[in-house]
Chains A and B, each alone.
Chain A
Amino acid sequence: MEAAPRSEPAPLLRVEDLWVRFPGRMGVVEAVRGVGFTVGREKLGIVGESGSGKTVTGRAILRLVLPPGLVTARRLVFDGQDLLALNEAAMRGIRGRRISMVMQDPKFSLNPVMTVGSQVAEAYRMHADASLEEARRRTLEMLAAVKIRDPERVYRLYPHEVSGGMGQRVMIAMMLIPGPDLLIADEPTSALDVTVQMQVLAILDDLVTQQGMGLVFVSHDLNLVASFCDRILVMYAGRIVETCRASELQQARHPYTRGLLQSLPRVDRPVAELPVLQRDPAWQDAFP
């Protein structure tokens, strides 16, 4: 999978000094601490372990962090628009239509009592003034685009009647049907079998490249992100500790990234014992 040509001009999304705080009974938890990055029409990977803040970052971009969570940033600009300054109605216009998100497990992220087809069609009609017929037609097209072989039949199925891979493809169809410019994929293949993962990723890659979209790929799987994305951000404890191009991953400098790399098993360099990552408390405050 090769990197699509990047557009040099203004990035789609610019994030500067993003903080997400959750006040709780025992104190304030800071999930995201001063994160900043840009995304153009490229594939950006965000890698981190559980609790690193990567998922919350994705939600914060869409302003889906629910109270009592607090999102602040020096800049959160999408295509020239300051996302933090928009009111809720305007933000709803952005969600789905301009920025979309694919979530991890279709078992949970699809509405169990609606057919999958109607859910996709609903996504279309949210932002396009279309008749039911038109929406249905578009949905079938989209289902075919994600390589579902019998769209008519699948349209009528309920989420519990489809497999994980198919469900995730439905999810992708649903999130891409309004034609957004930026897609956030939050662990899109983590809930899938390994064999199906590759297929779904290929579909995602195809569609993203075709539409010239930007993609933010959030995952805990460093290998996967390295092979799929153009650039990589490594997050730890709410901060970004490393930024690099995917091709230059092996030259990563931060000890956390190096530790991760070393603890990944490699077929071409078998080791008797895989090193375990040793955490340095100083990483909590570091930044490159």
Chain B
Amino acid sequence: MTREHPAGAAAAGAPAAGAPDAGRRRPATAVTVLLVVVAVLVGAAVARVDAWWPVLTATTTHGEAGEVVTAGPVRVRVDGVRTGSVLADGGEMLTTGGVWVGVDLALSGTVDDAVPAVLELRDARGRDYAASTRAGNLLASVPHAADVPEGGTVLFELPAEALAGDLVLRVLTEVHDADVDRPQAVAEIALGSARPPAADVVLEPAEDALVPGGWDG
């Protein structure tokens, strides 16, 4: 690729100061230093790009109960929060060492059938509790058509002391397309505080059903 150059042979040695090749080495050294600095800066930028460019991190949409909150492929609206010490789940009475928390909500897709990847409650201490798999929780696990909201109750089992502060419902989503770097869309809906249930209070989940009138109803 390179041609032999008479000057190259001279530069390979150790020319004395003031020799003709000394002037040529200075620019070469400067270029090397410049390239090293650029490489270090690029490396540092790449390492920090997630923090500097938030679009590459999860995008979180915040909302409150009663609002339709859109997070990527899913829309959700919380209609209420109820608690119980016993859960009436399909004819079975489920007791708990903590409390049952039922979040009445509606879900739909945005452009296609969509199902939330995770539904969880975050307590005031930052602990996350996923929707219970002891309960049916069908609403949280079946696909919902675009703008065809279905309502029902998603059930969580929490330690009683988790109700000491405000709760936040977190809806985490997944996108299945070519953009593998697309950030995860998360909806965080402030629920406020939930009152601990009295003993033997039975929580009865609402039946899953289409929301009358749709999102505009």
Same complex for A and B? Answer: no
Residues of A within 8 A of B (CB): none
| Interface residues in chain B, defined as those with a beta carbon under 8 Å from any beta carbon in chain A | none
